[in-house]
């Protein structure tokens, strides 16, 4: 199999992820990066001192032994760099394994190979990192515009919708004007895997959206049907939203990470704190599995334990 042949198959897999699985552009880039790295490993493992113009291996030759050699290579690289910043963290190694498992599962289903060599490979256990979130006080300070905070109309609408619905950044920028029902206070969201869900929003978000829509027609010189456009009439791109949210959050919190996803975590945590059913939160967030949503129960429990230790005389 030539290197070009491998790249062609990776490109075919990328098309599948985009057209069938509806994965985001950034996710597909990550998959491609991981598979390119694996291809480079194959070249090094098989060609060694020979020309790298050809990869002298067939897909069927990639077996469990070879996959394990790749994993050893990754973990050895981690040890080499341990005194500095690890070249491959446990999280990045886990991601690379996950990419290979998806790739070879695709090859097996398409009958490129007769056996999936990654079927017996398990993902390494990663320590659970509790999601960061804003306190009720910080959210109030941010959205009620107290203490001299003065949000632009666009910022206000974006922040209110993030906190009121818990939608992802990619979901927000792809909202169409037709997806918003102000009278019923509902939005139609297209999530991962092109799955649609209906999410309600509150009165504060409704007011912020109405204020924004009054200026949207002036900005929307290109007649786009997207809900959010900038003052030049362009669809908002992810980094613009990220920078906007980071700037606004910096005024109210000392959290290390200040991203749109923090508002999604805050939405879920505050709902749970107020007694919302975990299954309802799962549906609102668009999670595939309940186990993904259950991380927020850990956040709430940790907060309650902290309060208990601070307040109970026999803690």
Each domain of the chain, given as residue ranges in start order, spans 3-109, 136-311
- Is 305 part of the annotated catalytic residue set? no
Q: Which entry of 37, 87, 235, 287 is annotated as an active-site residue?
A: 287
| pLDDT the model gives residue 149 | 57
Average per-residue pLDDT for the chain: 86
286-294: long-range pairs with CB below 8 Å, 24+: 286/168, 286/171, 286/189, 286/191, 286/192, 286/195, 286/197, 288/192, 293/268
Q: Is the pLDDT of residue 213 over 80?
A: yes
User: Averaged over 87-100, what is the pLDDT?
Assistant: 86
* pLDDT value at residue 48: 57
Considering only residues 101 and 308, tell me which one the structure prediction assigns the higher pLDDT: 101
Q: What is the pLDDT of residue 51?
A: 47
Q: What is the average per-residue pLDDT within 135-145?
A: 90
**E-strand spans in the chain?**
180-181, 186-190, 196-200
* pLDDT value of residue 97: 93
Q: What is the pLDDT of residue 308?
A: 65
253: confidence class by pLDDT, cuts 50, 70, 90: very high
Cβ proximity of 257 and 130 under 8 Å = no
pTM for the whole structure: 0.71
Catalytic residue among 216, 264, 270, 282: 264
Q: What pLDDT, in 10s, does the model give residues 264-315?
A: 999 999 999 888 999 999 999 999 889 888 888 877 777 777 766 777 676 6
CATH for 136-311 is 1.10.443.10
Q: How far apart are CA 199 and CA 284, in angstroms?
A: 6
Do 205 and 213 form a contact (C-beta atoms < 8 A)?
Answer: no
The one-character DSSP state at 201 is -
Distance spanning both ends of the chain, measured CA to CA:
65
Considering only residues 84 and 168, tell me which one the structure prediction assigns the higher pLDDT: 168
User: Percent of the chain having pLDDT more than 70?
Assistant: 88
**Active-site annotation holds for 265:** no
Catalytic residue, candidates 188, 197, 204, 261: 261
Mean pLDDT of 164-169: 96
Beta bridge partners of 198: 188
Mean pLDDT of 77-101: 74
| 37 catalytic residue (yes or no) | no
Q: What is the pLDDT of residue 1?
A: 61
Q: Catalytic annotation on 261?
A: yes
In the annotation, is 168 catalytic?
yes
Q: Is 287 among the catalytic positions?
A: yes
Residue 224 in contact with residue 122, Cβ under 8 Å? no
CB 55 within 8 A of CB 46: yes
Q: Would the pLDDT of 254 be above 70?
A: yes
- Cα 226 to Cα 224: distance, rounded to the nearest angstrom: 6
Which among 107, 91, 115, 126 is positioned nearest to 35, based on CA atoms? 107
How confident is the model at residue 79, as a pLDDT? 59
**∠ CA 146-148-150 to the nearest 5 degrees?**
85
**Among 96, 101, 156, 168, the one annotated catalytic:** 168
Question: Which of 192, 235, 240, 246 is the catalytic position?
Answer: 192
Chain centroid offset of residue 193 CA: 13
The pLDDT of 215-244, averaged and rounded, is 91
Radius of gyration of the chain (CA): 24
């Amino acid at each position: 199999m030539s290197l070009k042949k491998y790249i062609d198959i990776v490109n075919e897999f990328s098309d599948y992820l985009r057209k069938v699985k509806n994965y985001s552009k950034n996710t597909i880039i990550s998959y491609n990066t991981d598979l390119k790295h694996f291809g480079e490993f194959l070249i090094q493992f098989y060609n060694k001192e020979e020309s790298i113009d050809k990869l002298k291996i067939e897909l069927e030759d990639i077996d469990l032994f070879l996959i394990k050699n790749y994993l050893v290579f990754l973990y050895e690289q981690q040890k080499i760099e341990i005194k500095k910043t690890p070249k491959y963290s446990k999280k990045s190694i886990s991601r690379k394994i996950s990419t290979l498992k998806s790739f070879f599962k695709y090859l097996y289903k398409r009958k490129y190979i007769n056996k999936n060599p990654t079927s017996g490979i398990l993902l390494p256990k990663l320590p659970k990192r509790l999601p960061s979130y804003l306190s009720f006080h910080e959210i109030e300070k941010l959205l009620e515009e107290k203490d001299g905070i003065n949000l632009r109309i666009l910022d206000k609408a974006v922040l209110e919708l993030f906190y009121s619905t818990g939608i992802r950044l990619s979901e927000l920028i792809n909202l169409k004007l037709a997806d918003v029902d102000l009278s019923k206070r509902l939005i139609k969201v297209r999530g991962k895997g092109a799955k649609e869900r209906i999410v309600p929003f509150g009165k504060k978000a409704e007011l912020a959206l109405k204020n924004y829509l009054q200026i949207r027609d002036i900005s929307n010189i290109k007649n786009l049907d997207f809900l959010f456009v900038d003052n030049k009439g362009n669809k908002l791109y992810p980094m613009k939203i990220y920078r906007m949210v980071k700037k606004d959050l910096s005024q109210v919190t000392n959290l290390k990470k200040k991203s749109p996803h923090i508002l999604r975590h805050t939405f879920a945590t505050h709902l749970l704190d107020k007694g919302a059913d975990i299954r309802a939160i799962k549906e609102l967030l668009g999670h595939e599995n309940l186990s993904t949503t259950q991380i927020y129960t850990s956040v709430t429990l940790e907060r309650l334990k902290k309060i208990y230790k601070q307040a109970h005389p026999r803690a």
